[in-house]
Chains A and B, each alone.
Chain A
């Protein structure tokens, strides 16, 4: 039985803006076991990044953790003193951000920055840290690490920078690595290199990983368990194979079917989720997904939001309908065309052209040749 490393209980993080209170994270409960990789998926603005920042207590103003507990090895992060939290960040948990360009200091050498991350926590003396930098860069497979430590970030390519960021994250041997869209800014071939690197590191060092992404394929290749977030809430959670095989929440189902697969020939239209994510300062009543849900029933609009309920082994979902109760025919609704036929017909009608003297001379128009 794996040991629980991180336990988040009923976390609420809210932003107090002039437009009202934005409930960015609205009662989120989950855990990360030692050595496991957990995927957190959802659209921009669903609260996945704020959840991660809350764990590190790095929520930017005007945001605040308003309630809930974040237990790391039984110790509540929300109650840590400033001293303790500094020690916790970097030593126990490290975070890799999306954009490797803006997260490195442009005027400090890469090696220096990694060294700084180590010595800042007084875990390593300068003497020990310096040779370790090269070792770390080698571990994340930066070629010619001995000479590259003296380079500045701008001399590194995007993929190399992301490797340096990962090296920095690993420098203090954290138990949990939070990676926020680590490959989004990178090219596919470089993305594949980084994915392999992260897989290897997870295996070699047994570092637990929390991968935040909107890329379903990335989750499929890296994670064991998955959490789907929508509008600040967890809507579904379970083992990755199970969620991919039989998603129960319509949102999870739509997300999975809204991306084409490279290994499949064009068979089907993509499921498109209509509309946009809700404004979190004024979320809709009932189930927060109901305005966009293709399988909505009256209960979803009126009743209070459903609870997370067991829908399979280790799988929970927050839905009144559940995909297992949706007939195959009804799923076609989600693939329908949004194109206005009427408008298309009107646009096809020829339009008279003015100023023919300017463009008309010596021309053969589209209809004129036939």
Chain B
């Protein structure tokens, strides 16, 4: 029994995919009659490869943070499987799950809310080590100091409380906490969006350095496409609970296949007035519809500039299929035709 379960794990060492998300759904019931639910994640397939940074972008409410919480096991899935290095984390329990979880960590958006205000920084960093019984007490203390030094903080700050630190420093503490148990996969959920511009660059550079140093795999979630493009190898675009396009970070910018990707990219101003003069952003009409009752057919059709309505777009849901460049997939009936 145990050997049979171990077999895919052993085989997976050569598998270039570290995390495989297949047909994942997460519905939050809203109560009342009729079984209505917020379809936060509504059928997502995604691969995260070893050593890469996969960027995940989309507007607020598209389900990207929910997906992150499903992958790290902070929320149970409604349906589907999430295979991490050969093990389906939605099926395993107990010690085995704990063991897998140790290898995946998360960095949160709000460095003010994600650190317990009543714990010292030393305790915050030591807690994961205690939880996973790593090292002796002395080794743990030593490790906490090294972690602080690693992220550019004074190692003697272990007795201080989070409120004594600035936003950027707190985010460093959050990063150090994620690194404490030697993870191989880190989910970064909007790690820089709450920070000041000059501090954002510090954290972005730090994340890049750490990835190189520790061969980390990142799932990097943000709504700032410029930051995502800077950090990611591949980018996945989400809209209303579904992935609508995935491609290499250059291909997705040079030849987006889904009209939503194109609109999203064109709506970001470029910090260069000469470029800005010649740009005409595609402004989408309206806002993201309610995930309780998503539009029929292609979910994007009410806002889509190229939709054929009534027609195939409002009737048939397009599957995620190869379009454009190698390794590029898009879910659109008229992919690339604009």
- Which residues of A come within 8 Å of B, CB atoms? 43-44, 143, 157, 159, 187-193, 195-196, 214-221, 240-241, 244-245, 254-256, 258-263, 265-266, 269-274, 276-277, 335, 337-344, 346-348, 351-356, 358-359, 361-364, 366, 369-370
Cβ contact of A217, chosen from B250, B269, B284, cutoff 8 A: B269
Closest 6 pairs (CB-CB, A-B) = A260-B230, A192-B267, A355-B133, A258-B201, A217-B269, A273-B198
Nearest CB in chain A to that of B181: its residue: A351
Q: Is the beta-carbon distance between A220 and B204 smaller than 8 angstroms?
A: no
Cβ contact of A272, chosen from B139, B202, B213, cutoff 8 A: B202
Instruction: Give the docked Cα–Cα distance between A338 and B209 (Å).
Output: 9
Chain B residues in 8 Å Cβ range of A272: 198, 201-202, 204-205
**Interface membership of B95, Cβ < 8 A:** yes
Chain A residues in 8 Å Cβ range of B98: 359
Chain B residues in 8 Å Cβ range of A338: 152, 202, 205-206, 209
Min CB–CB distance B107 → chain A (angstroms): 16
Chain A residues in 8 Å Cβ range of B249: 265-266
Q: Is the beta-carbon distance between A358 and B267 smaller than 8 angstroms?
A: no
Min CB–CB distance A154 → chain B (angstroms): 15
Q: Is the beta-carbon distance between A339 and B103 smaller than 8 angstroms?
A: no
Nearest CB in chain A to that of B172: its residue: A338
**Interface membership of B10, Cβ < 8 A:** yes
Min CB–CB distance B112 → chain A (angstroms): 14
Interface residues of B in 115-169 (CB under 8 A from A): 132-136, 139, 143, 146-147, 149-152, 166, 168
Min CB–CB distance B87 → chain A (angstroms): 10
Q: A44-B196, A214-B197, A270-B204 are in contact. Are A261 and B283 (CB under 8 A)?
A: no
**12 A–B contacts from the bound complex (CB under 8 Å):** A189-B264, A192-B267, A193-B283, A193-B284, A221-B276, A258-B201, A259-B197, A259-B271, A265-B253, A277-B198, A348-B214, A361-B95
Q: Is the beta-carbon distance between B133 and A262 smaller than 8 angstroms?
A: no
Chain B residues in 8 Å Cβ range of A218: 269
Q: Is the beta-carbon distance between A344 and B214 smaller than 8 angstroms?
A: yes
Interface residues of B in 241-289 (CB under 8 A from A): 249-250, 253, 263-276, 279, 281, 283-284, 286-288
Chain A residues in 8 Å Cβ range of B134: 351, 353-354
Cβ contact of B152, chosen from A266, A269, A340, cutoff 8 A: A340
Instruction: Give the docked Cα–Cα distance between A263 and B249 (Å).
Output: 11
Q: Is the beta-carbon distance between B284 and A259 smaller than 8 angstroms?
A: no
Q: Is the beta-carbon distance between A339 and B133 smaller than 8 angstroms?
A: no
Min CB–CB distance B91 → chain A (angstroms): 15
Instruction: Give the docked Cα–Cα distance between A255 and B264 (Å).
Output: 24
Q: A191-B267, A348-B214, A359-B133 are in contact. Are A244 and B273 (CB under 8 A)?
A: yes
Min CB–CB distance A217 → chain B (angstroms): 4
Q: Is the beta-carbon distance between A270 and B230 smaller than 8 angstroms?
A: yes
- Which residues of B come within 8 Å of A, CB atoms? 2, 6, 9-10, 13, 59-60, 95-96, 98-99, 103, 132-136, 139, 143, 146-147, 149-152, 166, 168, 179, 182, 184, 196-202, 204-206, 208-210, 213-214, 223-227, 229-231, 249-250, 253, 263-276, 279, 281, 283-284, 286-288
Q: Is the beta-carbon distance between B99 and A351 smaller than 8 angstroms?
A: no
Instruction: Give the docked Cα–Cα distance between A309 and B180 (Å).
Output: 49
Instruction: Give the docked Cα–Cα distance between A277 and B195 (Å).
Output: 13
Min CB–CB distance B265 → chain A (angstroms): 7
Min CB–CB distance B270 → chain A (angstroms): 5
Cβ contact of B201, chosen from A188, A195, A270, A364, cutoff 8 A: A270
Instruction: Give the docked Cα–Cα distance between A342 and B150 (Å).
Output: 8
Q: Is the beta-carbon distance between B226 and A260 smaller than 8 angstroms?
A: yes
Q: Is the beta-carbon distance between A271 and B201 smaller than 8 angstroms?
A: yes
Cβ contact of B150, chosen from A340, A355, A364, cutoff 8 A: A340
Min CB–CB distance B247 → chain A (angstroms): 13
Q: Is the beta-carbon distance between B205 and A359 smaller than 8 angstroms?
A: no
Q: Is the beta-carbon distance between A351 and B213 smaller than 8 angstroms?
A: no
Cβ contact of B275, chosen from A191, A263, A273, A277, cutoff 8 A: A263
Q: Is the beta-carbon distance between B2 and A259 smaller than 8 angstroms?
A: no
Instruction: Give the docked Cα–Cα distance between A29 and B59 (Å).
Output: 39
Q: Is the beta-carbon distance between A353 and B133 smaller than 8 angstroms?
A: yes
Q: Is the beta-carbon distance between B143 and A347 smaller than 8 angstroms?
A: yes
Instruction: Give the docked Cα–Cα distance between A215 and B200 (Å).
Output: 12
Q: Is the beta-carbon distance between B136 and A352 smaller than 8 angstroms?
A: yes
Chain B residues in 8 Å Cβ range of A337: 205, 209
Chain A residues in 8 Å Cβ range of B209: 337-339
Q: Is the beta-carbon distance between B226 and A220 smaller than 8 angstroms?
A: no
Instruction: Give the docked Cα–Cα distance between A370 and B13 (Å).
Output: 9
Chain B residues in 8 Å Cβ range of A270: 201, 204-205, 230
Q: Is the beta-carbon distance between B99 and A359 smaller than 8 angstroms?
A: yes
Q: A189-B267, A260-B227 are in contact. Are A343 and B198 (CB under 8 A)?
A: no
Q: Is the beta-carbon distance between B201 and A351 smaller than 8 angstroms?
A: no
Q: Is the beta-carbon distance between A262 and B135 smaller than 8 angstroms?
A: no
Min CB–CB distance A174 → chain B (angstroms): 25
Q: Is the beta-carbon distance between A241 and B274 smaller than 8 angstroms?
A: yes
Q: A187-B223, A272-B201, A352-B135 are in contact. Are A347 and B150 (CB under 8 A)?
A: yes
Q: Is the beta-carbon distance between A217 and B10 smaller than 8 angstroms?
A: no
Q: Give 12 A-B pairs besides A270-B205, A366-B182 with Cβ atoms closer than 8 angstroms.
A: A187-B287, A188-B224, A188-B268, A192-B267, A221-B273, A255-B197, A259-B226, A266-B249, A276-B199, A352-B136, A356-B133, A361-B95
Nearest CB in chain A to that of B280: its residue: A196
Q: Is the beta-carbon distance between B287 and A159 smaller than 8 angstroms?
A: yes
Chain A residues in 8 Å Cβ range of B210: 339
Chain B residues in 8 Å Cβ range of A335: 205
Instruction: Give the docked Cα–Cα distance between A364 and B7 (Å).
Output: 11
Chain A residues in 8 Å Cβ range of B226: 217, 259-262
Q: Is the beta-carbon distance between A220 and B201 smaller than 8 angstroms?
A: no
Cβ contact of B272, chosen from A143, A261, A364, cutoff 8 A: A261
Instruction: Give the docked Cα–Cα distance between A351 and B132 (Å).
Output: 12
Nearest CB in chain A to that of B62: its residue: A187
Min CB–CB distance B76 → chain A (angstroms): 21
